[in-house]
Chains A and B, each alone.
Chain A
Amino acid sequence: MDFDTYAKMGGYAMNVWGSYGLGILGYGALLAHALWRYERLRRREKTLDRQ
């Protein structure tokens, strides 16, 4: 199967790629936010410790 045929997903590209795109975006954003918040709080803790 060539790439074009595969990418079209039998005519359901919007549904299949849309689902996985939203899934990666949603779950990825949640993880990124969790890590960002933790790092931000840890930096603040270190700053307060130094003071």
Chain B
Amino acid sequence: MLTKFANPARFEKLAKTILPVLSILATILLSLGLLDALLLSPPDYQQSETVRIMYLHVPSAWVAMASYAAIGIAAMIFIIFKHTLAELFMRAALPVGAMATALCLVTGMLWGKPMWGAWWVWDARLTSVLVLMFLYVGIMALMDAFDRPEQGGLAGAWLAVIGLVNLPVIKYSVQWWNTLHQPSSITSFKRLMNPAIAPQMIRPLIVMAIGLTLYAAIVIIVRMRSEILARKLRNGGIR
């Protein structure tokens, strides 16, 4: 089954079908999410209007971590089965995850300054997310440091697998250590149904999270199609 879906020609056909659907859904969700986040949702009783940063900061963090988890799985598939599509997925998803991580860090700083009185603190959550950023940049640099893309892909895949250890550190950093960063308000699906934050605030958060996830999927698919095309032009066909 894995081989069936790891075929570039089949992927191209599938991408052509799902891209328009994903694009329409992402546009609708992100438009509604932004409207809700910036206009309809109420200010927080303590944090006032700065709480609106959450609707971009938290979904960016989720996309950053989900992208890395997907890259880690693709890296394992590439190491074990040598599927070219897994390597192409890694190359396509790395900049998306890096951008989400960078925006998570920057929006966190813009939120932290008025709330904590500091742009940056070396607490476990912030530091582990910074490590995630370094991992993204490091893997991209390593993959491009080889003349043969397959060699670069393999080296990057090993680093991506090793870096997977950082994901639970990010997730549980607020529980394992005493951090300035607040603990998670949504820790499970059960908690999502009975969240610690107001329903008017959870709504834009979820809509923005789904919208940003779809956006990430679109960019990854477009970038994968580009990679397939680039290799086809370079080698006269994909191996």
Residue numbers of A with Cβ under 8 A of B are 9-12, 14-16, 18-20, 22-23, 26-27, 30-31, 34-35, 37-38, 41-42, 44-45, 48
Pick the 4 closest A-B CB pairs, nearest first: A10-B49, A9-B49, A41-B229, A19-B107
CB pair A45 B49 closer than 8 Å: no
Task: Give the number of A-B contacts (CB < 8 Å).
Answer: 80
CB pair B222 A20 closer than 8 Å: no
Complex: how many Å from CA A18 to CA B119?
14
CB distance from A46 to the nearest CB of B (A): 11
The secondary-structure label for the interface of chain A is helix
CB distance from A45 to the nearest CB of B (A): 6
B52, B113, B222: the one within 8 Å of A38 (CB)? B222
A18, A26, A34: the one within 8 Å of B223 (CB)? A34
Complex: how many Å from CA A26 to CA B106?
11
CB distance from B116 to the nearest CB of A (A): 12
CB distance from A4 to the nearest CB of B (A): 14
A9, A22, A44: the one within 8 Å of B103 (CB)? A22
Residue numbers of B with Cβ under 8 A of A are 34, 38, 43, 48-50, 52-53, 56-57, 60, 95-96, 99, 102-103, 106-107, 110-111, 113-114, 212, 215, 218-219, 222-223, 225-226, 229-230, 232-233
CB pair B53 A41 closer than 8 Å: no
Using Cβ atoms and an 8 Å threshold, which residues of chain B touch A45? 229, 232-233
Q: A23-B60, A31-B222, A38-B225 given. 7 additional CB < 8 A pairs? A: A15-B111, A16-B53, A23-B103, A30-B95, A34-B219, A34-B223, A41-B229
The secondary-structure label for the interface of chain B is helix
Closest residue on chain A to residue B53 by CB atoms = A19
| 9 residue pairs A–B, Cβ–Cβ below 8 Å | A11-B49, A12-B49, A19-B106, A19-B110, A30-B96, A30-B219, A31-B219, A38-B223, A38-B226
Using Cβ atoms and an 8 Å threshold, which residues of chain B touch A19? 53, 56-57, 106-107, 110-111
Complex: how many Å from CA A44 to CA B234?
11
Using Cβ atoms and an 8 Å threshold, which residues of chain B touch A42? 229
Residue picked from B43, B95, B222, most chain A C-beta under 10 Å? B222
A11, A23, A34: the one within 8 Å of B107 (CB)? A23
CB pair B114 A12 closer than 8 Å: yes
Complex: how many Å from CA A37 to CA B223?
8
CB pair A22 B223 closer than 8 Å: no
Contact (A16, B50) CB under 8 Å given A22-B106, A23-B103, A30-B219: yes
